[in-house]
Amino acid sequence: MTLPTYDILLIGDYFFDQIYTGLSEFPELGREICTSGLTTTGGAMYITAAALTRLGVNVGWAAYFGNDYYSQFVRNLALREGVDLSLAKNSDQCYRLVTTSLPYQGERAFVTFADPEPPDVYDHWLDSLNHSDFKHLHLGGMERTVFTRAVIRRAKERGATVSLDCSDGSHLNNPCDCRETLALADIFMPNAREALVVSEKSDLPSALKVLTGLVKLVVIKDGANGCWIGQGDDVIHIPGIDPGAVIDTTGAGDCFSAGFLRGWVCENAPLATCGCYGNICGGLSVTGVGGATAAPTYEQMMRWMEKTCV
């Protein structure tokens, strides 16, 4: 049997994102306010999968979908984007992963509901490593400590490199455990707040020093400030782009990851170029509602490279 072959294999949950935009003020208890916009779209690993696909990357997503409306909505979105779901599982049970996002003045608040994880979700993700060939594995988070370590080790046995996002969650309550996990990866890609929490430092230079002592390459996503890249004793800062009005920052970090990995995995590009790719993808993401809505094509990204990074 011929196995599907990918440059990048993605492992991570889908989410159904419900995003309220146009808030004139932030909600408070006991009062009702109205918004001018409501968008439903895919979140979490869907964003990275869709963004990589638009960038022309040969990517596969080993998603796990239930038989509920939310799962199938995002599955159909992914198919319309052209995301390869050959390794995805469609389970005959409910698996609702839903986030409500409230963007306001450049930040956002979230309320999330998640069904209990199906008992076979970990087996599915591990099996996907054995039923595909891939150069690189990207994991959307490290909240499942034992599982995450097992997946990284399996990918390494297959000869692949591994990148690891951080994601928010209860795992950040145990920074020491997080550091043990990320030390197994090739790239760690937290946002600025997550980098400070995991490193247990109060400033980014100190955080980078700790994290680069554990993992070969650290890429800290710092919003409008761009990104910080640390490798050994070398640290570079790549300023962010000015994409125009900020509409919604939800999922910008997931879009950044797609741009950076396009450069690092597919082009073996210099780190500064990878950082520029990431900044462009993350920057353009905030000009639309939803993380992948305004994700650029490769051609659009390169036009921005000519304007901002060359």
Q: Are 4 and 84 in contact (CB under 8 A)?
A: yes
Give the 3-state secondary structure of the chain: CCCCEEEEEEECCEEEEEEEECCCCCCCCCCCCCCCEEEEEEEEHHHHHHHHHHCCCCEEECCEECCCHHHHHHHHHHHHHCCECCCCEECCCCCCEEEEEEEECCEEEEEEEECCCCCCHHHHHHHHHHCCEEEEEEECCCCCHHHHHHHHHHHHHCCCEEEEECCCCHHHHCHHHHHHHHCCCCEEECEHHHHHHHHCCCCHHHHHHHHHCCCCEEEEECHHHCEEEEECCEEEEECCCCCCCCCCCCCHHHHHHHHHHHHHHHCCCCHHHHHHHHHHHHHHHCCCCCCCCCCCCHHHHHHHHHHHCC
Q: Where are the domains of the chain?
A: 9-308
CA distance 34 to 24: 8
Pairing of strands 97-104, 107-114: antiparallel
Give, in degrees to the nearest 5, the angle at Cα 11 between 64 and 193. 115
Q: What is the pLDDT of residue 310?
A: 60
The CATH number of 9-308, from 3.40.1190.20, 3.30.465.10, 3.90.1580.10, 2.10.60.10, is: 3.40.1190.20
Q: What is the pLDDT of residue 1?
A: 65
Q: What is the pLDDT of residue 228?
A: 97
Q: What is the pLDDT of residue 142?
A: 87
Integer angstrom CA distances of residue 60 from 87, 120, 136, 236, 266: 7, 20, 11, 31, 14
Q: Are 13 and 113 in contact (CB under 8 A)?
A: no
From 52, 53, 41, select the one nearest 16 (Cα to Cα).
Answer: 41
Q: What is the pLDDT of residue 109?
A: 87
Q: What is the pLDDT of residue 162?
A: 98
CA distance 165 to 172: 13
From 222, 225, 277, select the one nearest 253 (Cα to Cα).
Answer: 222
- Each of the 310 residues of the chain gets a pLDDT tens digit; together they read 688 999 999 999 999 999 998 888 998 899 999 999 999 999 999 999 999 999 999 999 999 999 999 999 999 999 999 999 999 999 999 999 999 988 888 777 889 999 999 999 999 999 999 999 999 999 998 878 888 999 999 999 999 999 999 988 888 889 999 999 999 999 999 999 999 999 999 999 999 999 999 999 999 999 999 999 999 999 999 999 999 888 888 889 999 999 999 999 999 999 999 999 999 999 999 999 888 999 999 999 999 999 887 6
Q: What is the pLDDT of residue 225?
A: 94
